[in-house]
A and B are shown apart, each in its own frame.
Chain A
Amino acid sequence: MISLGVIDLMIAAVLVILLALLTEWMKVRLGSQILIAAIRTAVQLLLIGLVLKVLFENAGALWVALLAFFMLSVASYEVMARQQRRFTGWWGYGVGTLSMFLSSFVVTLFALSIILGNDPWYSPQYSIPLLGMLLGNTMNGISLSMDRLTQTAWEQRRVIEARLMLGHDHKEAIGELRQNAIRSGMIPIINAMATAGVVSLPGMMTGQILAGAPPVEAVKYQILIMFLIAAGTGLGTLVAVAIGSRRLFDERERLRLDHLQPTR
């Protein structure tokens, strides 16, 4: 295994800086966003590396849980921040949090206890990376589907209300929008599964192989991760769209777009 030095990473960073300069020169104006995101990547990954190092050395259940909930809360914030039209009040944060909790945590617990069967089951070397992979992917699925749901509900509010006026219940009135929202949340992971290994070598597997793991071992873990991500993303998307599409209506099944914040 070739150990990476600071200089090696700096050289890669120069590429990102060049990209930022290029977008500025082309007036796309993404320069500062690219740089900030790149700095966040470096700082956040280095920090989590340190945290994991400490955690691996003293594996307390409490610390694992604490880190897990910290990751959940950041992921929930990301889901909320990516919505064009988010729900007002606690719902804006809560829909994403609850659906990610139900999907990522449940699937991670399932994998840890039934498939991997570690001792202790929460062993941070497995639980934290697994949860991270799941949160990262369910976060994408949930934010895509929620954004699609609220956006299309706003655009098609008159059609939804026309159906309510004709005595359709809220599920019928928003049925097609729900299906489309669920689809848009799940398509990325379905595509990723379909092209895995043919078009793209998944990042986790690549990382493992670069770090010196035997390819077949890396592949087996990648298959496991893909399946878990698919299950987690699917579950999370279903839960988020179910909660979200109910919240678009009130107890009298009126379409309540005032439950959404105006676009920024």
Chain B
Amino acid sequence: MLVRRKHNPTGESRKDLVSKCGTVAGQPLVLRISSLRRLTLGPVSLEVRAGECVCVSGVSGAGKTILLRAIADLDPYEGTVFLDDVSCADIRPVQWRSMVGLLPPESMWWGMRVGDHFPEVNADWLKRMGFTEEVMDRRVEVLSSGERQRLGLLRLLANQPRVLLLDEPTANLDQANISRMELLVEQYRRERGAAVIWVSHDPGQIQRVADRHLGLVGGELRSQTQ
């Protein structure tokens, strides 16, 4: 189902939206990671509830990308990852990756036009990201890196994933586009009850989007005070 709700209909400021997000405790668990290990990473255990955004930070090489890739089942790992209490091994890989969507720092495109990469177009989301439907006819090679990244998020959301794994998604964007991305992710997780794991280096961003902030140190997740 496509959501046609107006952008921020009640006129709440972003600050209000953020301050309300403290209470995800009663929400059902969407993602549960149990003793995940790969290479130098782990054991990592983590639970993310519906509508919750967990930020993960850590120095370069700490294993943040390894963690997200393992959760998306792109690399083999030890341990178990559950989606809505069903183990990854019991879900077909194609279905798993549609529901557990990973957005890498740089989006890749294989078709000639933007529209070749979208099974369906949500005009409302396009608008929220500053596009019109005309963008679907544009050739991929004329897109700026910022446009690619915003369209990359839209392309991922078109699958309506239950879990969003965002790997430094705003690294190449300017402030206006960072805000657009943050807002769309926030609206998506609230409207759809999606779980979000957001890898970020930017303390300001972590403060804006995170319900919880974890640091990846020595291969393990540790709680960080905000």
- B72 & A253 in contact (Cβ 8 Å cutoff): no
* Tally of A-B Cβ pairs under 8 angstroms: 52
The answer, yes or no, to whether B45 is at the interface (CB within 8 Å) is: no
Which stretch, B96-104, B129-137, B184-192, touches the partner chain A?
B96-104
**Are B159 and A159 in contact, CB atoms less than 8 angstroms apart?**
no
Interface 9-residue window, one of B2-10, B73-81, B173-181, B216-224: B73-81
Residues of B within 8 A of A158 (CB): 104, 108
- Interface size class for chain A? 10 to 19
Query: What is the bound-complex CA distance between A165 and B157, given in angstroms?
Result: 12
Q: Which of A159, A166, A169, A254 contacts B156 (CB 8 A)?
A: A166
Contact of A254 among B93, B103, B104, B110 (CB under 8 A): B93
Let me know if A167 and B108 touch, CB within 8 A: no
Give the Cβ gap from B36 to chain A, nearest Cβ, in Å.
15
Contact of A162 among B76, B93, B98, B107 (CB under 8 A): B107
Contact call B73/A167, Cβ cutoff below 8 A: no
| B-contact bits for A168-184, CB 8 A (1 contact / 0 none) | 11000000100000000
Q: Which of A159, A166, A252 sits near B101, CB closer than 8 Å? A: A166
**Contacts A254-B75, A255-B74 given; does A168 touch B108 at CB 8 Å:** no
Given known pairs A254-B74, A254-B76, A255-B74, the reply for A167 and B95 (CB within 8 Å) is: yes
User: Which residues of A sit under 8 angstroms from B95, Cβ to Cβ?
Assistant: 167
Pairs of residues from A and B, 4 with the lowest C-beta to C-beta distance, nearest first: A167-B98, A162-B108, A253-B93, A159-B108
Residue numbers of B with Cβ under 8 A of A are: 72-76, 93-95, 97-98, 101-104, 107-110, 117, 155-156, 159
Interface residues of A (CB under 8 A from B): 158-159, 161-169, 176, 250, 252-255
18 A-B residue pairs with Cβ-Cβ distance under 8 Å, sorted by A, are A158-B104, A158-B108, A162-B107, A162-B108, A162-B109, A163-B110, A164-B97, A165-B102, A166-B101, A167-B94, A167-B95, A167-B98, A167-B101, A168-B94, A176-B110, A250-B76, A252-B93, A253-B93
